[in-house]
Amino acid sequence: AQSVTQLDSQVPVFEEAPVELRCNYSSSVSVYLFWYVQYPNQGLQLLLKYLSGSTLVKGINGFEAEFNKSQTSFHLRKPSVHISDTAEYFCAVHTDKLIFGTGTRLQVFP
Amino acid sequence: KAGVTQTPRYLIKTRGQQVTLSCSPISGHRSVSWYQQTPGQGLQFLFEYFSETQRNKGNFPGRFSGRQFSNSRSEMNVSTLELGDSALYLCASSLVQGPSTDTQYFGPGTRLTVL
């Protein structure tokens, strides 16, 4: 069975600092990987996705993620965060349905 | 283009009642998926509809059901409500079936509280 592990439930960081949100997945078959962001009282918004091809995926709002098959990881990175990046971030894997991780709350401080 | 809309946004019910939630997808989208979000269980897939047919189903009891109409609007129904059904229910739509082939767009959700 597929599963997704987000290793950090909360990540505090100062504005303009770099950030990495970690995600590991388990699957015995080829997977498609996603990162979503959820702002307070809103639905989910797709940040980026990996389907195939280049292992470095660039998304919206300056985020990027790297697919590492040998380490079964899909970590999300941003070189310089803003206050407005404060939100909940979800990693997800799709085979026949979307399976989400438990989420990482990114808190950006001024 | 209007986004995914969900009605109502907030709902309060008591145990044993039933509830119907509605989702209107983005115009032209034919696939609608439903998810339940709770603090304890996180985001869990309920079901996906495409062209009025249920294409996939998550691990939820039969009290949870859904349907899709010819205009792609979808409803989900929960019968005999339990306290544990309190959650944010999210709907997502896409042009075609499955997020691996097309981006899913999420609505703002319906917050259901069961007393």
Cβ separation of A44 and B56 shorter than 8 Å? no
SS (H, E, C) chain B: CCCCEEECCEEEECCCCCEEEEEECCCCCCEEEEEEEECCCEEEEEEEEECCEEEEECCCCCCEEEEECCCCCEEEEECCCCHHHCEEEEEEEECCCCCCCCCCEECCCEEEEEC
Distance CA A109, CA B99 (A): 33
Tell me the chain A residues in contact with residue B43 when contact means C-beta distances shorter than 8 Å.
44, 90, 92, 100, 103
Kindly indicate the confidence band of residue A30, based on its pLDDT and cuts at 50, 70 and 90: confident
Tell me the chain A residues in contact with residue B106 when contact means C-beta distances shorter than 8 Å.
36, 43-45
- The predicted pLDDT at position B99 comes to 65
* Among A2, A98, A102, the residue to mutate for chain B (most B Cβ within 10 A): A98
- The predicted pLDDT at position B100 comes to 65
- The predicted pLDDT at position A96 comes to 77
Q: What is the DSSP letter of A7?
A: S
Provide the shortest C-alpha distance from residue A48 to chain B (in Å): 10
A39 touches chain B (CB under 8 A): no
- Search chain A and give the residue with CA nearest B100: A32
- The predicted pLDDT at position B1 comes to 67
Per-residue pLDDT of chain B (115 residues; tens, 9 = 90+): 679 999 999 999 999 999 999 999 999 999 999 999 998 889 999 999 999 999 999 999 999 999 999 999 999 999 999 999 999 999 999 987 766 667 889 999 999 999 9
Query: What's the half-sphere exposure (Cβ side, CA atoms, 13 Å) at A11?
Result: 24
Distance CA A72, CA B88 (A): 30
Give the pLDDT confidence of A57-98 residue by residue, as tens digits: 999 999 999 999 889 999 999 999 999 999 999 999 987 788
Cβ separation of A100 and B44 shorter than 8 Å? yes
Q: Between A103 and B104, whose confidence is greater?
A: A103
The token pair at A52 is: 């195939």
Provide the shortest C-alpha distance from residue B80 to chain A (in Å): 26
Tell me the chain A residues in contact with residue B105 when contact means C-beta distances shorter than 8 Å.
46
Q: Which residue has the tokens 């504005």?
A: A15
Cβ separation of B99 and A34 shorter than 8 Å? yes
- Angle CA(A57)–CA(A10)–CA(A80) in degrees, nearest 5? 45
Kindly indicate the confidence band of residue A51, based on its pLDDT and cuts at 50, 70 and 90: confident
- The predicted pLDDT at position A97 comes to 82
pLDDT at A42 over 80: yes
- What is the average pLDDT across A24-30? 81
Residue A67: exposure state from Cβ atoms within 10 A (0-12, 13-18, ≥19): buried
- The predicted pLDDT at position B97 comes to 73
Strands A104-109 and A10-14: parallel
